[in-house]
Amino acid sequence: AQTVTQSQPEMSVQEAETVTLSCTYDTSESDYYLFWYKQPPSRQMILVIRQEAYKQQNATENRFSVNFQKAAKSFSLKISDSQLGDAAMYFCAYEGSNYQLIWGAGTKLIIKP
Amino acid sequence: GAVVSQHPSWVICKSGTSVKIECRSLDFQATTMFWYRQFPKQSLMLMATSNEGSKATYEQGVEKDKFLINHASLTLSTLTVTSAHPEDSSFYICSARDGGRQTGTEAFFGQGTRLTVV
Protein backbone atom coordinates (compact mmCIF):
# COMPACT_ATOMS: atom_id res chain seq x y z
CA ALA A 1 0.00 0.00 0.00
CA GLN A 2 1.10 3.52 -0.71
CA THR A 3 1.96 5.90 2.10
CA VAL A 4 2.76 9.60 2.30
CA THR A 5 4.81 11.08 5.13
CA GLN A 6 5.16 14.71 6.09
CA SER A 7 7.59 14.86 8.99
CA GLN A 8 7.19 18.55 9.77
CA PRO A 9 4.01 19.25 11.75
CA GLU A 10 4.77 22.98 11.71
CA MET A 11 7.15 25.32 9.94
CA SER A 12 7.64 29.04 10.25
CA VAL A 13 9.32 31.48 7.92
CA GLN A 14 9.94 35.19 7.82
CA GLU A 15 7.93 37.08 5.24
CA ALA A 16 9.79 37.36 1.91
CA GLU A 17 12.10 34.46 2.73
CA THR A 18 12.15 30.94 1.34
CA VAL A 19 10.86 27.82 3.04
CA THR A 20 10.91 24.15 2.05
CA LEU A 21 8.29 21.64 3.13
CA SER A 22 9.24 17.97 3.08
CA CYS A 23 7.29 15.00 1.81
CA THR A 24 8.30 11.40 1.26
CA TYR A 25 6.19 8.59 -0.07
CA ASP A 26 6.34 4.89 -0.60
CA THR A 27 5.01 3.02 -3.60
CA SER A 28 5.80 0.12 -5.86
CA GLU A 29 4.17 1.78 -8.85
CA SER A 30 6.27 3.42 -11.51
CA ASP A 31 3.63 5.77 -12.90
CA TYR A 32 1.84 8.10 -10.53
CA TYR A 33 1.15 11.72 -9.69
CA LEU A 34 2.11 13.86 -6.73
CA PHE A 35 0.36 16.96 -5.51
CA TRP A 36 0.72 19.74 -2.99
CA TYR A 37 -2.55 21.16 -1.72
CA LYS A 38 -3.02 24.20 0.48
CA GLN A 39 -5.78 24.49 3.08
CA PRO A 40 -6.10 28.03 4.47
CA PRO A 41 -8.20 28.86 7.54
CA SER A 42 -11.30 28.87 5.32
CA ARG A 43 -10.59 25.11 4.92
CA GLN A 44 -11.07 25.27 1.15
CA MET A 45 -8.56 22.90 -0.43
CA ILE A 46 -6.54 24.56 -3.17
CA LEU A 47 -4.14 22.88 -5.58
CA VAL A 48 -0.68 24.40 -5.35
CA ILE A 49 1.34 22.28 -7.73
CA ARG A 50 1.31 18.90 -9.48
CA GLN A 51 4.13 16.59 -10.60
CA GLU A 52 3.91 13.67 -12.98
CA ALA A 53 6.28 10.90 -11.99
CA TYR A 54 7.39 10.15 -15.53
CA LYS A 55 8.56 13.73 -15.98
CA GLN A 56 12.06 14.37 -14.72
CA GLN A 57 11.68 18.13 -14.81
CA ASN A 58 10.56 19.63 -11.54
CA ALA A 59 7.21 21.42 -11.68
CA THR A 60 7.09 25.16 -11.07
CA GLU A 61 4.18 27.52 -10.50
CA ASN A 62 5.29 31.10 -9.94
CA ARG A 63 6.77 31.21 -6.40
CA PHE A 64 6.16 27.52 -5.82
CA SER A 65 8.47 24.80 -7.03
CA VAL A 66 9.14 21.20 -6.18
CA ASN A 67 12.22 19.07 -5.81
CA PHE A 68 11.13 15.68 -7.08
CA GLN A 69 13.57 12.86 -6.40
CA LYS A 70 11.95 9.72 -7.78
CA ALA A 71 14.61 7.27 -6.67
CA ALA A 72 14.53 8.65 -3.15
CA LYS A 73 10.72 8.94 -3.24
CA SER A 74 10.94 12.51 -2.10
CA PHE A 75 8.74 15.42 -3.15
CA SER A 76 9.51 18.68 -1.34
CA LEU A 77 7.80 22.02 -1.90
CA LYS A 78 9.77 25.24 -1.99
CA ILE A 79 7.98 28.53 -1.46
CA SER A 80 10.00 31.57 -2.44
CA ASP A 81 9.34 35.14 -1.34
CA SER A 82 6.88 33.95 1.29
CA GLN A 83 3.78 36.07 1.70
CA LEU A 84 1.31 36.40 4.54
CA GLY A 85 -1.31 34.79 2.34
CA ASP A 86 0.77 31.63 2.15
CA ALA A 87 -0.06 30.84 5.77
CA ALA A 88 -2.03 27.59 5.71
CA MET A 89 -1.89 23.84 6.14
CA TYR A 90 -0.03 22.20 3.30
CA PHE A 91 -0.80 18.62 2.35
CA CYS A 92 1.25 16.37 0.13
CA ALA A 93 -0.81 13.82 -1.78
CA TYR A 94 -0.12 10.78 -3.98
CA GLU A 95 -2.31 9.41 -6.73
CA GLY A 96 -1.64 6.04 -8.26
CA SER A 97 -3.42 3.68 -10.56
CA ASN A 98 -6.65 3.61 -8.55
CA TYR A 99 -7.01 7.43 -8.88
CA GLN A 100 -7.56 7.88 -5.17
CA LEU A 101 -5.52 10.46 -3.31
CA ILE A 102 -3.33 9.31 -0.43
CA TRP A 103 -2.70 12.20 1.93
CA GLY A 104 0.15 13.16 4.21
CA ALA A 105 -0.53 14.42 7.73
CA GLY A 106 0.02 18.02 6.73
CA THR A 107 2.41 20.82 7.66
CA LYS A 108 1.20 24.03 9.22
CA LEU A 109 3.05 26.96 7.68
CA ILE A 110 3.34 30.13 9.72
CA ILE A 111 4.49 33.36 8.09
CA LYS A 112 6.14 35.86 10.40
CA PRO A 113 5.62 39.49 9.36
CA GLY B 1 -10.93 26.43 -12.57
CA ALA B 2 -13.88 24.15 -12.13
CA VAL B 3 -16.22 24.73 -9.21
CA VAL B 4 -17.58 22.24 -6.73
CA SER B 5 -20.32 23.55 -4.48
CA GLN B 6 -20.98 21.86 -1.16
CA HIS B 7 -24.04 22.65 0.92
CA PRO B 8 -24.62 23.37 3.73
CA SER B 9 -21.42 24.97 4.99
CA TRP B 10 -22.35 24.17 8.54
CA VAL B 11 -25.17 22.38 10.25
CA ILE B 12 -26.21 21.65 13.81
CA CYS B 13 -28.55 18.75 14.40
CA LYS B 14 -29.97 16.85 17.30
CA SER B 15 -28.70 13.41 18.17
CA GLY B 16 -30.73 10.74 16.42
CA THR B 17 -31.71 12.82 13.41
CA SER B 18 -30.36 12.57 9.86
CA VAL B 19 -28.46 15.18 7.92
CA LYS B 20 -27.96 15.41 4.16
CA ILE B 21 -24.94 17.10 2.59
CA GLU B 22 -24.95 17.94 -1.10
CA CYS B 23 -21.99 18.16 -3.43
CA ARG B 24 -22.48 19.64 -6.90
CA SER B 25 -20.10 20.10 -9.76
CA LEU B 26 -21.27 23.38 -11.27
CA ASP B 27 -19.51 23.56 -14.62
CA PHE B 28 -18.35 20.04 -15.39
CA GLN B 29 -19.54 16.47 -15.25
CA ALA B 30 -18.11 14.41 -12.45
CA THR B 31 -18.41 10.68 -13.00
CA THR B 32 -16.63 10.13 -9.71
CA MET B 33 -16.82 12.08 -6.49
CA PHE B 34 -15.02 11.47 -3.24
CA TRP B 35 -16.17 12.04 0.32
CA TYR B 36 -13.67 12.81 3.06
CA ARG B 37 -13.83 13.39 6.76
CA GLN B 38 -11.36 15.68 8.46
CA PHE B 39 -10.81 15.80 12.20
CA PRO B 40 -9.36 18.96 13.78
CA LYS B 41 -5.72 19.51 12.86
CA GLN B 42 -5.61 16.24 10.96
CA SER B 43 -5.44 15.15 7.37
CA LEU B 44 -8.28 14.08 5.11
CA MET B 45 -9.62 10.60 5.60
CA LEU B 46 -11.29 9.08 2.56
CA MET B 47 -14.70 7.73 3.48
CA ALA B 48 -16.02 6.58 0.13
CA THR B 49 -15.82 6.90 -3.61
CA SER B 50 -19.07 7.80 -5.28
CA ASN B 51 -19.71 6.69 -8.85
CA GLU B 52 -22.61 8.02 -10.88
CA GLY B 53 -25.33 5.45 -11.31
CA SER B 54 -23.79 2.80 -9.10
CA LYS B 55 -23.22 2.02 -5.47
CA ALA B 56 -20.52 3.86 -3.61
CA THR B 57 -17.32 2.12 -2.59
CA TYR B 58 -16.68 2.56 1.11
CA GLU B 59 -13.30 2.49 2.80
CA GLN B 60 -12.63 -0.05 5.48
CA GLY B 61 -14.13 0.94 8.79
CA VAL B 62 -16.73 3.32 7.35
CA GLU B 63 -20.29 2.26 8.12
CA LYS B 64 -22.21 2.27 4.87
CA ASP B 65 -25.55 2.18 6.68
CA LYS B 66 -24.66 5.28 8.67
CA PHE B 67 -23.12 7.27 5.85
CA LEU B 68 -25.44 6.88 2.88
CA ILE B 69 -24.05 8.10 -0.41
CA ASN B 70 -26.11 8.68 -3.51
CA HIS B 71 -24.72 9.81 -6.86
CA ALA B 72 -27.82 10.06 -8.98
CA SER B 73 -26.50 12.39 -11.65
CA LEU B 74 -23.22 13.49 -13.18
CA THR B 75 -23.30 16.70 -11.19
CA LEU B 76 -24.69 15.74 -7.81
CA SER B 77 -23.62 13.45 -5.01
CA THR B 78 -25.16 13.43 -1.55
CA LEU B 79 -23.93 12.17 1.79
CA THR B 80 -26.57 11.45 4.41
CA VAL B 81 -25.47 10.94 7.98
CA THR B 82 -28.22 8.79 9.46
CA SER B 83 -29.13 8.71 13.14
CA ALA B 84 -26.34 11.14 13.87
CA HIS B 85 -24.52 11.03 17.18
CA PRO B 86 -22.04 13.46 18.75
CA GLU B 87 -19.12 11.32 17.58
CA ASP B 88 -20.20 12.01 13.99
CA SER B 89 -19.43 15.69 14.52
CA SER B 90 -16.69 16.55 12.08
CA PHE B 91 -15.74 18.43 8.92
CA TYR B 92 -16.87 16.65 5.77
CA ILE B 93 -15.39 17.49 2.36
CA CYS B 94 -16.32 16.32 -1.11
CA SER B 95 -14.18 16.44 -4.22
CA ALA B 96 -14.64 15.70 -7.88
CA ARG B 97 -12.59 15.45 -11.03
CA ASP B 98 -13.52 16.84 -14.38
CA GLY B 99 -13.67 13.86 -16.72
CA GLY B 100 -14.30 11.26 -14.04
CA ARG B 101 -11.67 8.59 -13.69
CA GLN B 102 -8.85 10.36 -15.47
CA THR B 103 -5.82 10.19 -13.22
CA GLY B 104 -3.46 13.02 -12.58
CA THR B 105 -5.95 15.78 -13.16
CA GLU B 106 -6.75 18.32 -10.54
CA ALA B 107 -9.32 17.32 -7.94
CA PHE B 108 -11.69 20.17 -7.14
CA PHE B 109 -12.97 20.44 -3.63
CA GLY B 110 -16.15 21.67 -2.08
CA GLN B 111 -16.04 24.23 0.69
CA GLY B 112 -16.66 21.58 3.30
CA THR B 113 -19.46 21.08 5.81
CA ARG B 114 -18.99 21.41 9.52
CA LEU B 115 -21.42 19.06 11.23
CA THR B 116 -22.15 19.44 14.92
CA VAL B 117 -24.41 16.89 16.57
CA VAL B 118 -25.82 17.95 19.93
**For B33-74, what is each residue's pLDDT tens digit?**
999 999 988 999 999 998 888 889 999 999 999 999 998 888
In Å, how far is A46's CA from the nearest CA of chain B? 8
Could you tell me how many CB contacts below 8 A there are between chain A and chain B? Answer: 46
- Which residues in chain A touch residue B101, judged by CB atoms under 8 angstroms apart? 99
Contacts of B37 in chain A (CB under 8 A): none
Residues 34-93 of B with CB under 8 A from A: 34, 38, 42-44, 46, 49, 91, 93
> DSSP string of B16-72?
T--EEEEEEESSS--SEEEEEEE-TTS-EEEEEEEETTSPPEEPTT--TTTEEEEEE
CB atoms within 10 A of CB A90: 23
Residues B39/B87, Cβ–Cβ less than 8 Å: no
Of B38, B42, B111, the CB nearest to A44: B111
User: Would you give per-residue pLDDT tens digits along chain A (113 residues)?
Assistant: 889 999 999 999 999 999 999 999 999 998 899 999 999 999 999 999 999 999 989 999 999 999 999 999 999 999 999 999 999 999 999 998 877 899 999 999 999 99
| Sign (positive or negative) of CA dihedral A55, A57, A60, A66 | positive
